[in-house]
Amino acid sequence: MKYLKYFGIGAIILGFLFSMAYYIKTNSRSAITYETSKLSKQTIEEKIVATGSVVPEDEVNIVPQISGIIDEIFVEEGDEVVAGDLLAKIKVVPNEQSLNSAEGRVKTARIVLNNSTKEFERNKKLFDKGVISEQDFNSVELRYNQDQQNLENALSDLQIIRLGSVGGSALTNTNVRSTVSGTVLQVPVKEGDQAIEANTFNPGTTIATVADLNKMIFEGRVDEGEVGKLEIGMDLKISLGAIEEKEYDAKLTLIAPKGIEVAGAIQFKIEGEVFLDDEYVVRAGYSANATIITDVKKDILSINESLLQFDNSTKKPFVEVQISGQKFERKDIELGISDGVFAEVLGGVSESDNIKIWNKTEPLKRGDVGEQEYKYDN
């Protein structure tokens, strides 16, 4: 009985140890298994995407030639106009002080010319009789001609100031006409507003903005790291936010020589001529993306970028290559151009390598043979 007791205790202990060993062994195995993938031959287009908008190539602000009050407006946004069409009328109220001053200058000029006329006629008779020299007569004639011109200038100034009182009326209408053909994009004023003429110190009040919507350009910006890849004349593909599944061809026409800081980054303005068709109406200001292909390589060894991993310290790419089963070794990889999905492989791995799909896993059934191991070769 004593031996049976010891035998039973020993059996229990052995059973417990065996169970613990089995538990540790089975739970030390990886709970997941990794699939693999190979390199492939791809055609890769390296692209730059610039965000911006489409705008008319030329926008013209129509301003009045004289200051006054807007009496009537004959157009509204969206109207089609041709050069010479009447857009608005301006009521001009003459400045009384300026008017009195101009009238005074006219009177003075007439008095001076009246005296010059008498002097000229008297000296002409003396010159005809040979009493005075030709040089003296020429001097008198010159003053006479200058006084005539001064009177004409004074009358012209008076006419300009009196535009508001021509024909005995205190007010008159001044026509504002379009200088170009196109679509009215904006009428930023309303009847009764004050309008100011354009001059050296003031661009004037814009009565309407007119542009030809058949001639549109793309305006956008690219980062400083990409601007060096661009050249004038490159092809662009323009996609509009308002028109889905439609791309317009364009040609790069401008790369700004100077960058500007936007949210802490230096960006460069670009422009491209957009080639429109009659399928859709493209409106000024539509948001747009321009895709520019900077490099194309055909049938090159490539890797799906989802297979890439990056070293935490060096930030350089690497992959894990299958040795056997779930055993992998790290290999640094050298990359070339990329299209955002596939990247060109320049070295580090071969076409025959099985590369670990590290971000796609499946459960490993308990009891499956093979543990996942990692071997890193630095």
Check whether residue 123 and residue 77 sit in a common domain.
Answer: no
CATH code (residue 109): 1.10.287.470
Q: What is the pLDDT of residue 126?
A: 86
Q: Is the pLDDT of residue 231 over 60?
A: yes
Confidence of residue 375 (pLDDT cuts 50, 70, 90): very low
Q: Which two tokens stand for residue 167?
A: 């024909």
Question: In this structure, are residues 347 and 301 in contact, taking their beta carbons and an 8 Å threshold?
Answer: no
Range from 234-248, 297-311, 348-362 carrying the lowest mean pLDDT: 348-362
Write out the residue range of the structural domain in which residue 144 sits.
96-167
Separation between Cα atoms, residue 217 and residue 222, nearest integer Å: 16
Q: What is the pLDDT of residue 16?
A: 63
Q: Is the pLDDT of residue 15 over 70?
A: no
Separation between Cα atoms, residue 192 and residue 15, nearest integer Å: 103
**Domain closes at, from 211, 238, 265:** 211
Q: Which two tokens stand for residue 349?
A: 């791995």
Q: Which two tokens stand for residue 52?
A: 């911006």
Which is nearest to 332 in space by CA: 297, 356, 364, 308?
308
Question: In this structure, are residues 303 and 38 in contact, taking their beta carbons and an 8 Å threshold?
Answer: no
Tell me, yes or no, whether 13 lies in a domain: no
- Residues 302-320, mean pLDDT to the nearest whole number: 93
Check whether residue 273 and residue 310 sit in a common domain.
Answer: no
Confidence of residue 31 (pLDDT cuts 50, 70, 90): low
Q: Which residue has the higher pLDDT, 368 or 294?
A: 294
Tell me, yes or no, whether 8 lies in a domain: no
User: What percent of the chain stands above pLDDT 90?
Assistant: 54
Check whether residue 178 and residue 200 sit in a common domain.
Answer: yes
Check whether residue 205 and residue 72 sit in a common domain.
Answer: yes
3-state class (DSSP) for residue 339: coil
Our count of domains for the chain comes to: 4
Check whether residue 198 and residue 79 sit in a common domain.
Answer: yes
Check whether residue 292 and residue 222 sit in a common domain.
Answer: yes
Average pLDDT of every residue of the chain: 84
Q: For 24, list phi and psi in degrees, rounded to 5.
A: -65, -40
Check whether residue 89 and residue 175 sit in a common domain.
Answer: yes
Q: Is the pLDDT of residue 137 over 90?
A: no
Q: How many residues appear in the chain?
A: 378
Tell me, yes or no, whether 282 lies in a domain: yes
CATH code (residue 333): 2.40.420.20
Confidence of residue 128 (pLDDT cuts 50, 70, 90): confident
Tell me, yes or no, whether 18 lies in a domain: no
**Domain closes at, from 248, 265, 296:** 296
- Residues 66-95, mean pLDDT to the nearest whole number: 89
User: What percent of the chain stands above pLDDT 70?
Assistant: 82
CATH code (residue 82): 2.40.50.100
Separation between Cα atoms, residue 213 and residue 179, nearest integer Å: 16
Tell me, yes or no, whether 12 lies in a domain: no
Tell me, yes or no, whether 15 lies in a domain: no
Check whether residue 177 and residue 89 sit in a common domain.
Answer: yes
DSSP string covering 226-270, please? HHTT--TT-EEEEEETTEEEEEEEEEEEEE-SS-EEETTEEEEEE
Check whether residue 287 and residue 220 sit in a common domain.
Answer: yes
CATH code (residue 264): 2.40.30.170
Q: What is the pLDDT of residue 232?
A: 95
Span between the terminal Cα atoms of the chain, in Å: 64
Tell me, yes or no, whether 124 lies in a domain: yes
Q: What is the pLDDT of residue 363?
A: 47
Check whether residue 184 and residue 324 sit in a common domain.
Answer: no
Amino acid at 373: E
Check whether residue 125 and residue 236 sit in a common domain.
Answer: no
3-state class (DSSP) for residue 291: strand
Tell me, yes or no, whether 22 lies in a domain: no
Complete edge-to-edge strand list for the sheet that includes strand 194-195: 172-177, 86-92, 68-73, 194-195
Q: Which residue has the higher pLDDT, 125 or 187?
A: 187
Residue 198, sorted as left (phi over 0), alpha (psi -120 to 50) or beta, turns out to be beta
Check whether residue 182 and residue 225 sit in a common domain.
Answer: no
The per-residue pLDDT for range 354-373, each reduced to its tens digit, is 999 988 755 444 444 344 44
- Residues 95-112, mean pLDDT to the nearest whole number: 83
